[in-house]
Every structure is written in C-alpha cells, then in structure tokens.
Amino acid sequence: MNFSRFVPQKQNLSRREFLKVSSLAAGAGFAIGSVPLVAGEATPAVQQGLGHFIKVTSDSLVTVVIKHLDKGQGVTTGLTAIVAEEMDADWSQMRWEFAPADATKYNNLFFGPVQGTGGSTAIANSWMQLRQAGAAAKHMMVKAAAKRWQVAPAEVTVAEGKIKHKSGKTLSFGDVASDVAKMTAPEKPNLKDPKDFKLIGSNIPRIDSPEKTKGKANYTLDVNQPGMLKAVIIHPPLFGATIKSLDKSEALKMKGVKAVVQTPRGVGIVADSYWTATQARQVVKIDWDESAAEKRGSKELWKSYKTMAREEGQVVRNDGDVTKAFKEAAKTINLEFEFPYLAHSAMEPMNCAVQIKEGQCDIWTGSQIPTVDQGVAASVVGLTPDKVNIHTQFAGGSFGRRAVPNADFVLDAVLIAKLSGLDAPINLQWSREDDMQAGYYRPMTYQEMKASFDDKGELSGWHQRVVSQSILRGTPFAGMIQGPLDMTLVEGGHNLPYAMDNIKVDGHEASVGVPVLWWRSVGHTHNAYSTEVFLDEVARTMGKDPVQFRLERLKEHPRHAGVLKLAAEKAGWGKKLPKNKAQGVAVHESFSSFVAEVAEVTVNDDGTYSVDKIVCAVDCGIAITPDVIKAQMEGGIGYGLGSCMSEAVTLTDGKVDQANFYNYFPMRMSKMPEIEVHIVQSGESPTGVGEPGTPPAGPAVANALRKFLKKPLTKLPFGDRLDLA
Amino acid sequence: MIKFKLNGKSVTYEGDSSKPLLWFVREDAELTGSKFGCGVAMCGACTMHLNGNPVRACSTPISMVDGGSVTTIEGLESKTAKAVQTAWQDLDVVQCGYCQSGQIMSAVALLEKNNKPTDEDINAAMDGNLCRCATYHRIRKAIHNASKSLAKEA
C-alpha cells in the first residue's frame, strides 16, 4: 500500500502529521468523519490499568494485542518484542493475539482514524505507542510491588520477567496483575535508553514459528465454526461485464447445495462442502452482458499508452531547465520500458467467512484494512460498524492484495451471506483461477527515460515520463491524491535522490477497466527499475563505474550512500570474475527504508542465465528483530526478482490470459539466488521492511545481465533466455 | 466404500469417488494443516504422503488412496520429520506459513529417500512447492541442516 507520504521522512516524533480521510465516509458508506490524529504519539492520555494493548494474567503471561495483520512479515514478533523490552519481560512469557476491528483503539497512527496494515508502517507507527504502553505497564508494576512491600519504588527493579527488591524479595508479573488493573497509567512513563535494550536488536525467534511448522496455525481457509457452510463465486469473464440472465435450476437440484445467489459482483454458490460448491459451479448457467466491459487486450493498451506518452503529462518535478538542456545537448540517450500487470497471487487464494445473525455480523478473514471492511459490511447488512466483528486470521500472504478500498472479497462474502438469507456461518473460498482473473493487479506501466549530455560529456538533463493507471482515483481513498497526479505512478521516480541540475518527471493516468492495486512496494516496483537501469546506462555512456557514479551524486543522501557502500564492500564490487559472470547494482529508498543490492549472475552461450547471489544492505533505523528484517529482505528479493524474470498478466480482448501456476510463473526454488543481508547499525527510529527489499532486486540483476547484451532489458519479464545477438 | 489409513487410523468414505483427498482430509477428517493453493498440483501446498511418497492431495481423487496409507503434517512423527521440523524452527524458515506444511512434507519425503541431498536434489524435490514469501533460501539451508543432524544421530 502506498501511504508513504504520510510517513514522516525523518521519523521526527514531535512532527504533526494529519491525514484526512473524509472521502472514506462517503465512498464506503459509513461515518468516520475526518478526525485528525497525531502520528507517533500514544492515543489515550489517561487509561485504567494496562490499557488495550497489554494483558497480564495471574500466571504471569503477557499478551500483546496486535493491531496489525500478520501476513508473513513477522509483525506479531516485532510488536511483541517492543512491549517485552519496555516491560523487561522474559521472552518466554510473551504471548500475542490479533486485535478486534476497532479503529478508536487500534488505528494506524499514520493512517489517521483507520485501522490498517500497509505501506510498511506497522513497526514505525507502533514504535512509540507500544514502548509507552510497555513502559507504563512496568511503571505500574513497580509501584504496585513497592506498595506491597512498603518500600520506595526506587528500590524496586524489573528484569527478565521478575520484579525485585534490593533485599532479595521477588514478585512475578502475575502477582501484581490485579493491583495494576486498578491503577491509572502514567501519562509519560520513562522510556528505556536504547543503549539498554536487551531484546531489541537480538535474534529473537519468530513467535509464530512453532505453530506454522506443525500445521497448526489458523488461516481463513481453516475457520470452521459450528454449522459452517462453504461458498464459491463466479465472477464476470470480462471486467465490467454484468449478468443478463442466470439459470440456477440444475445447481439447486444437487445434493448439499444450499443457495445460489446473484450478487452485484457475480453468482455465489453455497453448499455443505467446498467440493460440492465447486461441482455445482459447473452447472450454473450465466448469460453475460459484455456491452460495457473492458475489451482491450494488452496489445491495444500498449498502443494507447505509447500514444499518450507523446504528449507531456502532469509535471510533478521540474528542477532547472530540462528543455534547454536537451536543446543544447551534444548527445542524448533514451529508453522505453514496458512493465506488465502483475498478480499478487498470495499462496492463500482470497477468502472470507461471514455470519449474519441476531443483529450482528461476524467476519473471519485476514484484513489489511479492517476499518474499510467493517464499514462496507455494515452498510451492506444495514448495521452500525460496531455490530460488525472482525476476527482476524493469519493471512497466507497478501503483498497488498488484502487491502482493497472497496472490500472486494469481503464484500463478496457479505453479499452472499446477506442475499442467501442463511444465518449459518459461510466460508467463501476463491479458487486460484478466481484469484488470478478477478483483477487487482500491479498496474501495467509504460515509461520513457531520456538523458542529455553536454559537450564535455557531462550529464545535463534527466526526463522521466510515466503512463500507468491510478490506484487511488475513483476509490474511497481518492482523498489521498493531493495534486493533479496520483503519486503512486511516480513514487521513487519523482523523488530521485541523485544530484542533477535539470530533472523533470511527468505522468499520465490511463483510464482502463482493469482493477489495479498496491503490489508489494507499489510504484517503486517499476520506478526503481526504470531509474536504476537508466542510471546505469547514463554511467556507461559517461564511462563511469556504476557505484562510483552513484556515490558522486548521493553526497546529500548519506543513508542511500551508506547502504550502497556497504553492499558494494560486502559483495566485493569490482572483483575479477570469470567471463560468463558479472555484477550489477541498484539502490533505492522506499517507505523510509534504504536498500542496496549487488547481484551476481551467470550467462551461458545459449542465452540461459542464473542469478547466483544477491548481497543486500538495508538501513531501516533501529533493527528491532534483525533476523525478521533479514527474512523480509530475502523474501522481498525473491518476490521482486520472480516478477522481473517470469511473471506477467496479459489480456486478449479484455480477458486475462493467465489462470493458474501453469501459465503464471512465480519464483521457484531452483531459480532462487543465494542471499546475504547486512543491516546498517542505526539509531534512527525504525522504519518498515515488508516492501523495501523488493524494488532494487530486478534492476540490480538487469544491470548485471546488461554486460552480455547489446542493449538494456527494458521489456519485462526477462524470460528464460536472453537475446545475446 | 473407500477405506484407508489416515495418520495411522482407519478411515472410511462413501460418496463421490472423484472428490480430491485434500477436501476429505480438510472437511471430513477436519485436519486443516494441509492447504489449498491451486487445485491443479502446481503449488504443492496440499502435499501429503501416500504410502511414503509425496502426492498433491488437491489433485488426488480419493478413489486412488483406497487401501493405502496417508500421512499429513499432523501425522508426522518419524526421526526424519523431527529433524526437519527442528531445522525449520531453528532457522525461522516460515513467513506467512501457508505453504510450509507442504514444503515440510516434500522435504521429509526427500530426506527419507536421500539423507544427503545435493542442491540439485533439493531443486528437483522442492521445485513443485511454491512459496510466495520466497523462503526458499532458508528451506534449502534447513534441509541441509536436517540432513547433517540426521547423519550425526546415525
């Protein structure tokens, strides 16, 4: 998700950041108003006992209430560690549970009054909030123990989950739990000096490893309430097609089929088992009205994007005088880039369970924006949002897919439950084909990059033009568009950090009927690629070393330069390699974290190639859980690399060509490079790591492969075989 | 009537014999560790062992397991399985975790037959198991570590 512009570039906690989402109210049909909130500060000043983030039971177990969705990024571990650190708890006594949907308590401090996970903000927005909650808890436990012992609080300490008096007396957290529940939390508890951190920065094991290794973790797929029915849905074959007529008679005759309902989004089939619903699906007859559907294929869309690119778009950056630079240029170079639509294709196809009963709506799903899903469900069912209870489940991946402004698959499930009139719980499961063909892709994007050089051969001008679809326009999040252009098109391009006198970035929003969405690192997926590949081309034209060239122009950006130097050093940049091997580099900032990657590739005479190794350096401020950070870099690299090497969603006459993993090709074991991750030691506030590993992977590899090619790789994906001719 | 062993216990099934094993195990036997990912044997999230061999349960009609013995992630208890699951936890392989039951079932089946797999062997045995979190790097290491710990025990 792209909420990056609401994340303070420097995590200055006194800086006030306001986010107005009044459009949400209108768009999603529920009232949350436009309540400005202060980023980075804990919400309530006065609260009773431990508040709503921490529970301590008499057995001394400490449960942290996790307001974010864990879709693999390890936030349950990270957030729990922050609380444990400030409480001086022992890691073995820590537990966690997902928070309910309640934005009054669990809003993302960077999203204003919205509870949500995205934009790599979970750790960053919770950092001070949970440190304060943990510190307040410790303060109260010390006070309670001091009172019990009739001693001064200054004589009481806490370490490794034990409350101790200097005399040697000890109490457990559980011993004082009931006393603490009656106390009032301090408004400004003393926070630890970071140099005293014990858990933070250490290699804490992932808290969800044991259950996920034994097949015991629960996902939406596994939700099994008493009497639960299963549902599948048939979506239109083309985006924008509607139902002309429906014949459900055959399906209704099948044993175990409970209902077949026409919804505004398709046809839902409810049965006693998933297999029965799948069988019934085959005999439902639908006549579609395709008159208003998007019927253009990829070919037509590329043509239209290229036509649009002939004109200047909305200019979002214009430093110096690019026109003059090009007019007076001794030499110019240009590249045209084509990025296809990409499917998130999380391992767990989208799903959501719903029960509407007795004036309540219960939802079991993995939701990145519970506030939206809750609001949409409330408006569909005709309830107030507080009557919609979301029971968050682990998500089997998401990469942005479970954060849909119109609630998408949650809306499907709620509509089926509502229109079937059944009060049994119903678990809607999309098939892989539904997941791949029902939309919400990384937008297809066309880019033109141009550079000019003066008569001394110096770079004199840089011009980037982007043609893509807006993710935000026309959605309840349109209020996030603050200028003439949805900045998700150009993020990572318009804020190019390299020192240049003349630089211009402009963009066109194409209007296409294919639904698009944030896909792990959003606009950075294509802008990091185009800018870093083109930058290498500029360096090559000037006869400069790619690392040296970047460093010369990153003097005002020490964190970019820091990761670049570290990655280059660890990878042995410039080392002598056999003829069939080469290195390539890319550096990129996204979501306030900085990542550089050096790729090493092997290219064979027949054009086949392998990515052998990626050395990655990341600066994400204070590293709370270093091993989780490394895992996110590894995974982010695999995700980014897979997309650049082999993934594409294409359309023919408006219909998606891909259906399943036999024609959509994510990264597999045999293609995965060895990865080495180095974390920059930093005292800056922590920033996210879910997305920032992804953007530099593709361009680093492309820059390495370039050494064997006549021209750079500008059309993605690369495919299995390079054109060496 | 179809009769087979599921994690060592006898089970019977009557009904549509084309129903995939996965849905019997998940919905009838209520063992939910094996996941649904693609329905066409292309992702491996549903991997179980049939008579010791890894199979994709989403595409295995229940009629095919009649008289056989099926093991799911819930029924793993061999020395090899313990070594694999320990290695998985030691390295914190999992991220979202959804594919990991299938990954572990494939890894155990590999090590049961080949206790010293090379990287090439691992590619061949594991390429059918997709992981969108791309935990491959750690899966490879965990398989090597499990192999080493088994060699030490032997």
Residue of A nearest to B136 (CA): A669
pLDDT at position A21 is: 32
Domains A220-291+350-429 and A298-342+441-708 share a fold: yes
Q: CA torsion A277→A279→A283→A286, rounded to 10°?
A: 50
Maximal CA-CA distance, chain A: 85
Q: Report DSSP state, residue B25.
A: I
Q: Which of B17, B24, B38 to mutate to test the interface with A (most CBs of A within 10 A)?
A: B38
Domain extents for chain A?
4-211, 220-291+350-429, 298-342+441-708
- Picking from A1, A154, A151, the residue whose alpha carbon sits closest to that of residue A523 is A1
CATH number of this structure's domain A298-342+441-708: 3.30.365.10
pLDDT digits (tens, 9 = 90+) for A76-127: 999 999 999 999 999 999 999 999 999 999 999 999 999 999 999 999 999 9
Tell the residue number behind the tokens 């036999």, with chain if given. A662
Q: Which residues in chain B have their CB less than 8 angstroms from residue A208's CB?
A: 94, 97
Q: How many Cβ pairs closer than 8 A exist between chain A and B?
A: 173
Range from A8-17, A196-205, A241-250, B29-38 carrying the lowest mean pLDDT: A8-17
List, in order, residues 6 or more apart from B153 with CB less than 8 Å away.
B79, B83
Distance CA(B135)–CA(B95), nearest Å, equals 7
Residue A658 contacts residue A297 (beta carbons within 8 Å)? no
Q: Which of A91, A212, A230, A364 to mutate to test the interface with B (most CBs of B within 10 A)?
A: A212
Quick one: residue A72, left, alpha or beta (phi over 0 = left, psi -120 to 50 = alpha)? left
Model confidence at A725, pLDDT cuts 50, 70, 90, reads confident
Range from A22-26, A51-55, A126-130 carrying the lowest mean pLDDT: A22-26
pLDDT at A434 over 80: yes
pLDDT digits (tens, 9 = 90+) for A217-237: 999 999 999 999 999 999 999
Distance to chain B for A165, nearest Cα, Å: 36
Residue A16 contacts residue A602 (beta carbons within 8 Å)? no
Expressed in angstroms, the distance from the first to the final Cα of chain A is 40
Q: CA torsion A538→A540→A545→A549, rounded to 10°?
A: -10
Count Cβ atoms within 10 A of the Cβ of residue A541 and give its class: 0-12 exposed, 13-18 middle, 19 or more buried.
middle
Q: Which of B98, B118, B135 to mutate to test the interface with A (most CBs of A within 10 A)?
A: B98
pLDDT cut 70: percent of chain A above it: 93
pLDDT at position A49 is: 82
Distance to chain B for A57, nearest Cα, Å: 27
Residue A124 contacts residue A11 (beta carbons within 8 Å)? yes
Q: Which residues in chain B have their CB less than 8 angstroms from residue A217's CB?
A: 97
CA angle centred on A710, ends A708 and A714, rounded to 5°: 95
Domain with CATH 3.10.20.30 in chain B: 2-75
pLDDT at position A17 is: 29
Q: Which residues in chain A have their CB less than 8 angstroms from residue B34's CB?
A: 215
C-alpha torsion sign, points B80, B83, B89, B92: negative
- Picking from A674, A564, A541, A542, the residue whose alpha carbon sits closest to that of residue A618 is A564
Maximal CA-CA distance, chain B: 47
Q: Find residues 471-530 of chain A whose CB sits inside 8 Å of chain B.
A: none
Residue A654 contacts residue A90 (beta carbons within 8 Å)? no
Distance CA(A624)–CA(A482), nearest Å, equals 33
pLDDT at position B153 is: 83
pLDDT at position A455 is: 97
Q: What is the mean pLDDT of residues A631-646?
A: 98
Distance CA(A647)–CA(A634), nearest Å, equals 18
pLDDT digits (tens, 9 = 90+) for A383-405: 999 999 999 999 999 999 999 99
Distance CA(A456)–CA(A463), nearest Å, equals 20
Beta bridge partners of A581: A602
Average model confidence (pLDDT) across chain A: 93
pLDDT at position A526 is: 98
A394 vs B: CB within 8 A? yes
Contact A209 B88 (CB under 8 A): yes
Rg (CA), chain B: 15
Q: What is the mean pLDDT of residues A69-75?
A: 97
- State phi, psi for A419 to the nearest 5 degrees: -75, -25
Q: Find residues 395-424 of chain A whose CB sits inside 8 Å of chain B.
A: 395-399
Q: Which two tokens stand for residue A699?
A: 């361009």
Which pairs count as long-range contacts for B74-79, CB under 8 Å and 24+ apart, including other chains? B74/A214, B74/A215, B74/B7, B74/B31, B74/B33, B75/B6, B75/B7, B75/B8, B76/B104, B76/B105, B76/B108, B78/B108, B78/B112, B79/B150, B79/B153
Helix runs in A150-208, H state only: 173-181
Which top CATH class is A220-291+350-429?
alpha beta
Q: Which two tokens stand for residue A276?
A: 């029965």
Distance CA(A77)–CA(A91), nearest Å, equals 10
Q: Which two tokens stand for residue A99?
A: 């928070």
CA-to-CA separations, A565 to A346, A369, A496, A537, in angstroms, rounded: 34, 37, 18, 20
Pair type for strands B53-56 and B47-50: antiparallel
pLDDT digits (tens, 9 = 90+) for A708-720: 999 999 999 999 9
pLDDT digits (tens, 9 = 90+) for B74-106: 999 999 999 999 999 999 999 999 999 999 999
Contact B72 A273 (CB under 8 A): no
pLDDT cut 90: percent of chain A above it: 92
> Looking at the partner chain, which of A210, A662, A669 has a beta carbon nearest the beta carbon of B122?
A669
Q: Which residues in chain B have their CB less than 8 angstroms from residue A72's CB?
A: 94-97, 133
CATH of B2-75, one of 3.30.565.10, 3.40.47.10, 3.40.50.300, 3.10.20.30: 3.10.20.30
pLDDT at position A46 is: 53
Q: Which two tokens stand for residue B142?
A: 């965990």
Q: Which residues in chain A have their CB less than 8 angstroms from residue B42's CB?
A: 660-662
Domain with CATH 1.10.150.120 in chain B: 79-153
- Picking from A549, A532, A589, A513, the residue whose alpha carbon sits closest to that of residue A713 is A532
Q: Report DSSP state, residue B12.
A: E
Contact A661 B43 (CB under 8 A): yes
Contact A670 B123 (CB under 8 A): yes
How is domain B79-153 classified at the CATH fold level?
DNA polymerase; domain 1 (1.10.150)
Average model confidence (pLDDT) across chain B: 97
C-alpha torsion sign, points A261, A262, A264, A265: positive
Distance CA(B42)–CA(B15), nearest Å, equals 26
pLDDT at position A50 is: 87
Q: Which of A206, A208, A213 to mutate to test the interface with B (most CBs of B within 10 A)?
A: A213
Q: What is the mean pLDDT of residues A695-706?
A: 98
- Picking from A41, A43, A42, A64, the residue whose alpha carbon sits closest to that of residue A53 is A64
Residue A349 contacts residue A430 (beta carbons within 8 Å)? yes
How is domain A4-211 classified at the CATH fold level?
Aldehyde Oxidoreductase; domain 4 (3.30.365)
> Looking at the partner chain, which of A215, A637, A668 has a beta carbon nearest the beta carbon of B127?
A668
List, in order, residues 6 or more apart from A569 with CB less than 8 Å away.
none
Distance CA(B78)–CA(B137), nearest Å, equals 25
Residue B9's CB is within 10 A of a number of other CB atoms, namely: 9
